Amino acid sequence: MENNQENKGKMKDDGRFKRKPIEFIIDDNGCFVCTSHYASSEESGGHIRYWFDKKVSVMHKFIYNELFGEVPEGLVVRHTCDNPKCINPEHLILGTQGDNVRDKVERNRQAKGEKVHTSKLTEEHVLEILKDKSSTNADLGRKYGVIADAISKIRLGITWKHVNRETV
């Protein structure tokens, strides 16, 4: 996307606090993609971080608080656009953490397979497990350093569902 005047924006200091200006571009989905502040790592969601009142917050929550007031206890600010770098107030809604998790699952954004930080297996291992018709779950578990139940769930299609089993 080109970075031209039509799709650039700034939110200016409101006079109460000395702040770094918030700059953004507007993408094809109408997201205000923040370009002036740093994002957290992709593993932790890729949200834009913002220092305010001597603490770090996520930018979308800060924007929501500034425009609509404090987020009530027990609620979180969710993105309707699924873009963690978006700060467009029209894309921000309140909900519970359960709503947020449900959004993630329904929109297929949850970490899977190797991207799960605790995973001991790779997609290559899973394909090897699926191809091996002669070894027991316990034998394969020992080979790959996981419990036999993990192997069983792979073979039954309960876990690692995203792996293309047609190649096996």
Of 63 and 54, the structure prediction assigns the larger pLDDT to 63
Confidence at residue 18, expressed as pLDDT on a 0 to 100 scale: 59
Give me the chain's average pLDDT, please: 84
Backbone torsions φ then ψ of 132, nearest 5 degrees = -80, 105
Q: How confident is the model at residue 40 (pLDDT cuts 50, 70, 90)?
A: low
Q: HSE on the CB side for 30, CA within 13 Å?
A: 8
Place 114 in a pLDDT band, splitting at 50, 70 and 90.
confident
Q: Is 99 helix (H, G, I), strand (E, B) or coil?
A: helix
Q: Which two tokens stand for residue 159?
A: 């876990």
**pTM higher than 0.85 for the full model?**
no
